[in-house]
Structure 1
Amino acid sequence: MKILTTTQSRKLDELTILSEPISSLNLMERASSRIVSRLLKMYADPAMEFHIFCGPGNNGGDGIAVARLLDQQDRVVNIYLDENRIKSEDAKANLARLPKRRYLKIVNIGRPFEMPDHGILVDALFGSGLAKPLYGFWAELVNRINASPLATVAIDIPSGMFGDQSTEAKSILADHTLCLHAPKLGCLLEDNAHRVGRLQVVDIGLHLPSLDAMETSYQLIDREMVKSFIPHRPKFAHKGTFGHALLICGGYGKMGAAILAARACHRSGAGKVTVHGPALANDIIQISIPESMFQPDLENYWFSNCPDLNEYQSLGIGCGIGMNPQTMAGFHTLIKSSNGPMVIDADGLNILAKNKSWIASVPKGSVLTPHPGEYQRLFDKTTDGFQRVQQQQEFSKSMGLFLVYKCAHSCMTTPEGHVYFNWTGNPGMATAGSGDVLTGMITGLLAQGVKTESALLAAVHLHGAAGDLAAAKVGMTSLIASDIIDYIGPAIKQLENV
């Protein structure tokens, strides 16, 4: 799914109007009907009241149309607007369409009014076309909405928030945001998490050929995309068909990282998995993961020497290896001598952060998977999420490396400059070992011959999907990394129905 700029979103509306053809008023009606369908799914209780705050433009027109359509579903609806401030012709037309009966109450916000004390607030004040910060009357109204204890649903984008640049001024702090047709880049960044709340995308039926023709570097991973990346299992396949993965993971007191990565690698379909680790870890690996083979290091307690890589189709390194001087030297030798890409996580990234000149030696096409703390150690500090995405994109292009910034909407950048965001996953996955699982999954898919970009997107998406299935079973609070591994298979199986 493409992520569009606000200019592109506006252009897509115009192209839809010209291409179908359809009037702007009828397109607004279609969008509003899709919004209403989503609201009714979210709030199925027929006694739930909706309080819709409408602004002067087309976002306000959406809100007025939504109010009318909810009223037609016999839902209690109150519209909060100032008719004297309405500027959009389509908003005026929708105002004229409102039924004359007074079941649907209009509250004049141009005069003193009381905020509702029950129901749901719907923010339809301003959309993504907002060009400047809110001030005066509208900023005060936003403050009143934010001060309400009631849940708020924003239509398209929280009012006052910018989709393509950092937001410094007042904005709605929504509990839910219903982005129309495609998410705005700003809605996917950590900076705006408190503004956006739970993000949902509502398909409003815009012109697909026009959308396909639009160029953008930003995309949201979807199931259809991921399904095409999972290798087919031929009838006469054998374990050699699906590759041999090597994981250099674990150290004294941290062999759990190796176990998690190896189990995830197996669950992702790798034909064979070998773990290279401290010599004294042999029994731990053999007992914990009977499916895996073990290759002992020359040292008893840590990784120190570069193994022969010729028999392996993929390599993952870093989970739990520590930062012993011998480990750091062995890591440096490995990245200089390797002919193929590798997946680098955890202590592998910390070693690079301590020795940034070594990054140039990392084989082209390799994958770096930092969480926010590891990212900050690797790169200069940025002022906001937009700047960080740009920094990440430029790094991938200049160094020829893939990078995954692990967060709520993990951001992946490629050497070609593509930027992908993920929508699966939940806060329960913020737990020790979750990143080790992802490293194993990426390495497992690479072993099967999946192209690096495809393996990366599939692994990140399935990692989040498995976490969602696990959270549905055990809850987010109790979720642990092993639960994610247990649901990798069901997550892959879900794709069969796409």
Structure 2
Amino acid sequence: MKIISSTQLKELDKYTIAKEPVASIDLMERAAEELTRAITHRWDTSFHIVVFAGPGNNGGDALAVARMLSKQNYHVEVFLFNTKGKLSEECQTNLERLKECGSVYFTEVSTQFDPPVLTERHLVVDGLFGSGLNKPLNGGFAAVVKYINASKAQVVAIDVPSGLMCEDNTYNIRQNMIRADVTLSIQLPKLSFLFPENEDIVGEWQLLDIQLKKDFIDTAQSPYYITEEEEIRSLIKPRKRFAHKGTFGHALLIAGSYGMAGASILSARACLRSGVGLLTVHVPIHNHDLLQTTVPEAIVQTDIHDHYFAEPVDTDRYQAIAIGPGLGQEEDTALAMMEQIQGCPVPLVLDADAINIFGTHRNWLSRMPKRCILTPHLKELERLIGKCMDTYERLTKTKELAAYLQSYIIIKGSWSTVVTPEGNCYFNPTGNPGMATAGSGDVLTGILAALLAQGYTQEDACRLGVYVHGLAGDIAAEEKGEIGTTSSDLIDALPAAWKKLTETKGRFTKE
């Protein structure tokens, strides 16, 4: 699913009006019908509806919704803010239609505003400002927003919570944004909905399809996408009848300093649960017996050092290498890692301490091979790009780093994001807070190593890997609950996740 900018959304409206063709006021009526349907599905007539409408088309939507709710026997009160004495054409038309309705309590606010009492039995419909807003709210509108936010009323926002901009809110004023319980987004989500700092602003968001022209969306240029299940299903390679373990690749995992063997175990188990044919795990001498016992399917190779990685490994036998889980940051380890990855002939995943080593040796970044996959959590990413004011700035800097390194960066977290060297950003919809637990990232590294060893491209491995990782988390949380989910539970759920994504495909393909 593509995410387009606020400017493109305006162009999409115009394109639909011209090409369908449909009058602008009729398109607004269509949107209002979908908005009303969504509201009546969630809130019954026991709620008193209070509509706050602005002077533009978002206000026009709100006035149309007020009229439709009134016709369905809701108690509706409307406040139209027209402080400059000028309404958009569609807003003016819907004002006239509302007045003809007769059963709505209506107030047009031009100067002083006498606010209504708002209780927990009121539903505020926020139609002050929509996706066209390009500057922070201030003055009287900011005061109205603060009044609504301080009330006990539930709030449903039309398209975008008033005060929130669709993309960049770095210099916005957060206390001057509506805090919605539900946001009813028209046709497409907005980029800012996916940022954690906006969770309390947007609330739960729901898409409403008003049949805007799909061909415009398909051809619109945008770097932002939300991955969908059907896309992921199409990426998965079916297994051939005469396949053998060599068919599915040999991965090398370099992980687990002394005391951190768990990271290597989790990563190895996840790799083996994600279809790799063979897996070799390279560990310090003191971790050998533990790995051999806990992951019997893996080949265990020992380093020269008792406690950490200190000697590069010959890579001729492998189709993919993953380095980092529990690796440690000893100087010998850092030097061995750099020697290992320079000139590496196979796809490479760098995670955890492998990333931290670059964070403490920033001048080494220019020596990183191209087409690597980096999987930082936010703190690890910060060590590479510096502190950021918000998610938009973080995303911008990550795109710059991915372009500089010509590598793929997975920003781990809610809506984990795959950032490509070309600047595309794929937001992953699967996963839940139960995955915020030690070892979850190690599991992802194992999955990625398995996919690369099987011949997936770096981009496909990233998108497929984060999706199945999150899906396994969802399956685990369904059984264990979010609080009780561990990283081992994610691994145990991987077979079910893979099965779900492949169950409609044929079991075998012909040679």
TM-score normalized with structure 1 length: 0.92
The residue number in structure 2 matching 1:296 is 302
**Deviation string, structure 1 residues 332-389 (Cα, Å, up to 9, x no partner):** 1111241233111111111111111222222110011111111111123333332222
The residue number in structure 2 matching 1:53 is 52
The residue number in structure 1 matching 2:316 is 310
The residue number in structure 2 matching 1:342 is 348
Judging changes above 3 Å, is the alpha-carbon distance between structure 1 residues 103 and 290 closer, same or farther for their aligned structure 2 residues?
farther
Pair 1:333-2:336 in alignment: no
Pair 1:18-2:18 in alignment: yes
Question: Partners of 1:458 and 1:68 in 2: how far apart?
Answer: 46
The residue number in structure 1 matching 2:461 is 455
Q: Of the candidates 104, 108, 115, which is equivalent to residue 118 of structure 2? A: 115
CA contact (8 A) 1:61 1:90 kept: yes
Q: How far 1:71 moved relative to its partner?
A: 4.6
**Deviation string, structure 1 residues 43-69 (Cα, Å, up to 9, x no partner):** 266645544332222112222333344
Question: Partners of 2:81 and 2:330 in 1: how far apart?
Answer: 69
CA contact (8 A) 1:341 1:365 kept: yes
Question: Partners of 2:235 and 2:123 in 1: how far apart?
Answer: 41
Map residues 59-208 of structure 1 onto 2, 5 A cutoff: 59-71=58-70, 76-82=74-80, 84=82, 87-98=87-98, 105-106=105-106, 110-166=113-169, 167-169=171-173, 170-208=176-214
Instruction: Name the amino acid aligned to 1:344.
Output: L
Instruction: Name the amino acid aligned to 1:67.
Output: A
CA contact (8 A) 1:370 1:404 kept: yes
- Which range is displaced more, 79-88 or 447-456? 79-88
Q: How far 1:496 moved relative to its partner?
A: 5.0
**Deviation string, structure 1 residues 264-323 (Cα, Å, up to 9, x no partner):** 212222222221112232232233223222122222222221112111111111000111
Question: Partners of 2:71 and 2:229 in 1: how far apart?
Answer: 34
CA contact (8 A) 1:64 1:79 kept: no
Instruction: Name the amino acid aligned to 1:422.
Output: N
Instruction: Name the amino acid aligned to 2:143.
Output: E
Judging changes above 3 Å, is the alpha-carbon distance between structure 1 residues 397 and 83 closer, same or farther for their aligned structure 2 residues?
closer
Question: Partners of 1:48 and 1:113 in 2: how far apart?
Answer: 15
Judging changes above 3 Å, is the alpha-carbon distance between structure 1 residues 173 and 44 closer, same or farther for their aligned structure 2 residues?
closer
Question: Partners of 1:39 and 1:259 in 2: how far apart?
Answer: 49
Judging changes above 3 Å, is the alpha-carbon distance between structure 1 residues 119 and 481 closer, same or farther for their aligned structure 2 residues?
farther
Instruction: Name the amino acid aligned to 1:30.
Output: R
Question: Partners of 1:198 and 1:151 in 2: how far apart?
Answer: 12
Q: How far 1:126 moved relative to its partner?
A: 0.7
Q: How far 1:100 moved relative to its partner?
A: 6.4
TM-score normalized with structure 2 length: 0.90
Question: Partners of 1:462 and 1:80 in 2: how far apart?
Answer: 46
The residue number in structure 2 matching 1:4 is 4
Q: How far 1:432 moved relative to its partner?
A: 0.9
Q: How far 1:238 moved relative to its partner?
A: 2.1
The residue number in structure 1 matching 2:230 is 224
Structure 2: runs of 5+ lacking an equivalent? 505-511
How many matched pairs?
496
Partner of 1:326: helix, strand, or coil?
Answer: helix
Judging changes above 3 Å, is the alpha-carbon distance between structure 1 residues 497 and 234 closer, same or farther for their aligned structure 2 residues?
closer
Question: Partners of 1:19 and 1:77 in 2: how far apart?
Answer: 38
Map residues 364-383 of structure 1 onto 2, 5 A cutoff: 364-383=370-389
- Which range is displaced more, 249-258 or 81-90? 81-90
Q: Of the candidates 352, 358, 372, which is equivalent to residue 352 of structure 1? A: 358
Question: Partners of 1:497 and 1:97 in 2: how far apart?
Answer: 52
Instruction: Name the amino acid aligned to 2:192.
Output: G
- Which range is displaced more, 24-33 or 316-325? 24-33
- Which range is displaced more, 96-105 or 370-379? 96-105
Judging changes above 3 Å, is the alpha-carbon distance between structure 1 residues 254 and 413 closer, same or farther for their aligned structure 2 residues?
same
Instruction: Name the amino acid aligned to 1:143.
Output: K
Judging changes above 3 Å, is the alpha-carbon distance between structure 1 residues 465 and 39 closer, same or farther for their aligned structure 2 residues?
farther
Instruction: Name the amino acid aligned to 2:164.
Output: M
CA RMSD of aligned residues (A): 2.4
The residue number in structure 2 matching 1:266 is 272
Pair 1:414-2:414 in alignment: no
Q: How far 1:254 moved relative to its partner?
A: 1.2
Judging changes above 3 Å, is the alpha-carbon distance between structure 1 residues 279 and 442 closer, same or farther for their aligned structure 2 residues?
same
Q: How far 1:483 moved relative to its partner?
A: 2.2
- Which range is displaced more, 416-425 or 430-439? 416-425
Q: How far 1:163 moved relative to its partner?
A: 1.5
Judging changes above 3 Å, is the alpha-carbon distance between structure 1 residues 172 and 464 closer, same or farther for their aligned structure 2 residues?
same
CA contact (8 A) 1:352 1:358 kept: yes
CA contact (8 A) 1:275 1:294 kept: yes
Question: Partners of 2:75 and 2:252 in 1: how far apart?
Answer: 60
Judging changes above 3 Å, is the alpha-carbon distance between structure 1 residues 457 and 22 closer, same or farther for their aligned structure 2 residues?
same
Question: Partners of 1:88 and 1:32 in 2: how far apart?
Answer: 16
Judging changes above 3 Å, is the alpha-carbon distance between structure 1 residues 295 and 71 closer, same or farther for their aligned structure 2 residues?
farther
Question: Partners of 2:471 and 2:104 in 1: how far apart?
Answer: 41
Aligned-pair identity (%):
42
